[in-house]
Structure formats: C-alpha cells, structure tokens
Structure 1
Amino acid sequence: MATLNLVLMGLPGAGKGTQAQMIVDDFDIIHISTGDIFRSAMKNETEMGLKAKAFIDKGELVPDEVTDGIVKERLSKDDIAKGYMLDGYPRNLEQANALETISSELNRDVNAVINIHVDPEILVKRLSGRFICRTCGATYHKLYHMPKVEGTCDVCGGHDFYQRDDDKPETVRNRMDVNMKMNTPLVDFYEEKGLLHTINGDQDIEDVYKEIKSILDKL
C-alpha cells in the first residue's frame, strides 16, 4: 500500500476522536494532533516550541508561521514513514497552503482529506445536552443518559441540577459558528484539489468507519 497521509476534519462533536483511533489502529499510521505536538515541542524546547511558548506565556495567539514550523518539525521525523494523520491542522487557508509547501518539500504530500460531516444543529444538541447534579456531581445527558426518575438524581436523590457555561446551547452554538467559518474555506480548498472525501457522520460509529475504511482501502 502507498503511504497514507491524511488530514482529518469535522466540527466539534462529529466523532473525530473515535474515528481517528480506529484509523490509526487499522492502518498503522501516526496520529498527529496539534495540541499534542505543541505540548511536546514546548516540553522538548525545540526552536519552534520556544517561539510558541513565548506567545502562549503572554496570552497571545501563536502566529501561523510558528504553528506551521511546529508541524514541519513533526512531519520531518522518521516515525511517519508509513504515513500520518493530521488532526486540528490546517485551521485556515494560510496553514493549508503552508502544509502544501511543507509536505511537498519533505516528499510527504497529503493524499486524502476525510471530512466527517454532521448537521450543526444535531451537534449543538449532542454537545449541549450535558447537565450535572449540584449535590453529588453525577453527570447526565438529555439525549443519552437521563435520570431514571425525571428531576431526581440516580446517585444521591438530589433535585438540583445545573449546566456548565461551556455546555449551554448558546455557547456551543457560538463555538460551532466559529468552527464553520474556519472549516468552509478549507472544505472548498480541498474539494478543488480533488482530495476531499465527505463522510456522513450521523450514523452508527461502525457505519461511519466502514465508509472511511472503504475510501482509505482504495488509496
């Protein structure tokens, strides 16, 4: 099989984490999450890691060229000879163009972009369904895990529930809007290049993976 170099895309809550693990297990490629490589570069005090840390310590956003540099450092390593899957990068068109240059220089071009698509309204319901018992901290979900008796905690019998600010529908919707604004140009960019494969993420986990696997098997 040719080397498999992927970009994984999808809105928050679309199930990227679950699918990423299944892809890595099956195809023996390295999962490169931007959060992980940032932490690793800063911990190992690489040139780009130190640059990133200087911005983060000041509470500033890390500029694209530093993020690109950290990705380039990671893609230069020998452990990705069989392939890689980028998750969380690129996040905008500047980074997508930089990735083209980097991967071409390293002779590790991206050969597929997997975009897990779920209707944003469904995602808002998924992500804003969590609520918590104020008395004992037991967690419930409006779609997947309601208390056995409505309004009464299964664990402690309390009746006082709350939602964290992060889980409130308006916060989740706002996060979704921000992500959609970032994702849409990338989807168009990769579609024009003939690399985009959009997967229906609103199915059982196994069915989503079956669809992804059939695409990757052909590459």
Structure 2
Amino acid sequence: MRIILLGAPGSGKGTQANLIAQRYAIPHISTGDILRQQGNPDQVDINQTMMNTGELVVDELVIPLIKQRLNQEDCQNGFVLDGFPRTIPQAKSIKSLYIQIVLEFILPPSLIIERINGRLIHPLSGRIYHKQFNPPKKEGVDDITGEPLCIRKDDKTDAIYKRLITYQQKTAPLIEYFHKKARNGCLKYFPVDGTKSVEEVSRILMNILHRVFFK
C-alpha cells in the first residue's frame, strides 16, 4: 500500500495518516518529523527556521532524506506519505516507487486557519490534538505519556498564512500532475471532503482503501 496524502497545512493529513498506519500496519512517513529529527544540529536549525516561518525546505535537502527513509525495511510492504511530495520535482523523484493512490483533502482556507489555531502537538510522538475538535483527556497534556503539549511555531498566525500561500504556489500544481497520472491509469486519485469530522473522514478513507486494495 503506497499512499500519498495531499492537502494544505491543517487539512487533517497527519491525523488520518496515523489512523491509516495503525489500521494497516504500515509506517507513517512525515516530512516534518524527519526534518525535526535529523542528527546534524546545524541542518536541524536551518530546517526548523524554514518550517517555523512557513517556508518549504529545499528539494536538495528533503528528497535524499525521504528516499533514504523509504528504502528502510519497514517500508517494503507499503507506507503512507504525509507532507511529501510538496513540489513536482519531489513527486518525480519517487516515481520509481509506483505510488498506488493519492488522497487529496479539500476544505476552505477559513476552516484550515481555525483548525491550525487550536492545534496542540506532543513533540516526541507527533500526536496531534485540537482544543475544540480533538481535545486531550486532560487539558494541556498528552493522553498516553502525560507530558506537556505545545503549539508548533509554524502554527502561529503569521506562519499559517505564509504556509497557505506557499501551498498554493508550490504544492497545488501537484493536483494536476497526479490527475494526469490517474487519467493515464498510473495511479488512483480521490478527492476527500476534509470539512467532516475526524471519524467521518476516517470512514471515507477506509472505504476508499478497502475498494482499491481488497476488492
């Protein structure tokens, strides 16, 4: 199961990628997590600064890291990609992996901003909460570890607008790129209504994946 989740920041990709990964026992590959966990402190600082201000990390840095991750043994039976590719060159860099399905999350910018503004993160695990839509059991702490939750720097207002603009400029062209591949029969492409609840979106995704992979 080689899956790409495509959508603007705050569209729900990370939450749904985790659910898909758990359901089908495949790794959730998050570009942001990989960039934050790099071993080179100088490069971590560069990447973190770019992400905090809403910039995309340049292809020359991110492509080798993702390809290295996808070559690891746990990806042999599939993976779900969240936050990669974000540009057409990135998509072309993994065309040899024969991506099977792209799921595009669609929702208006106003809802994206509302969602991001209330988002909370458990830094070590990447678990995502929301003050309104998916609150932790105890305010301000992770359900599993009890450790404090935080707001990511790139979820602050100035960075949110920058990230949305960057998405439209750099990532939105991927929609036509993948549509063309779908028309040519190279992969399956499904738009998903991202305005629905986490549970509803999950049901939609699981139904799509069941039809594609198990019928």
- Tell whether the 8 Å contact from 2:28 to 2:79 is kept in structure 1 after alignment: yes
TM-score for both structures, normalised by structure 1: 0.67
1:13 maps to which of 4, 10, 13: 10
Q: Distance in 2 between matches of 1:12 and 1:18?
A: 12
**What whole-Å deviation, never above 9, does each CA across 1:121-166 have from its counterpart, x for those lacking one?**
2222333468xxxxxxxxx97x77xxxxxxxxxxxxxxxxxxx996
Q: Distance in 2 between matches of 1:167 and 1:54?
A: 20
Report the secondary structure of 2:10's partner residue. coil
Q: Larger relative CO (CA 8 A, sep 6+): 1 or 2?
A: 2
Where do 4+ consecutive residues of structure 1 move more than 6 Å?
Answer: none
Report the secondary structure of 1:82's partner residue. coil
User: Pairwise CA RMSD of aligned residues?
Assistant: 3.2
Percent identical among aligned pairs is 31
Deviation, structure 1 residue 112: 0.7
Indicate the structure (1 or 2) with the bigger Cα radius of gyration.
Answer: 1
Deviation, structure 1 residue 172: 3.3
Q: Distance in 2 between matches of 1:70 and 1:5?
A: 18
Mapping of residues 110-125 of structure 1, within 5 Å: 110-125=99-114
Q: Distance in 1 between matches of 2:44 and 2:110?
A: 38
Report the secondary structure of 2:94's partner residue. helix
- Tell whether the 8 Å contact from 1:129 to 1:167 is kept in structure 2 after alignment: no
Q: Distance in 1 between matches of 2:44 and 2:118?
A: 37
TM-score for both structures, normalised by structure 2: 0.68
Deviation, structure 1 residue 180: 2.2
- Tell whether the 8 Å contact from 2:17 to 2:81 is kept in structure 1 after alignment: no
2:164 maps to which of 173, 176, 180: 176
Asked if 1:56 is matched to 2:53, the reply is no
Please list every run of 5 or more consecutive structure 1 residues that lacks an aligned counterpart in the other structure: 131-139, 145-163
Q: Residue 205 and residue 167 in structure 1: after superposition, are their counterparts in 2 closer, same or farther (change >3 A)? A: same
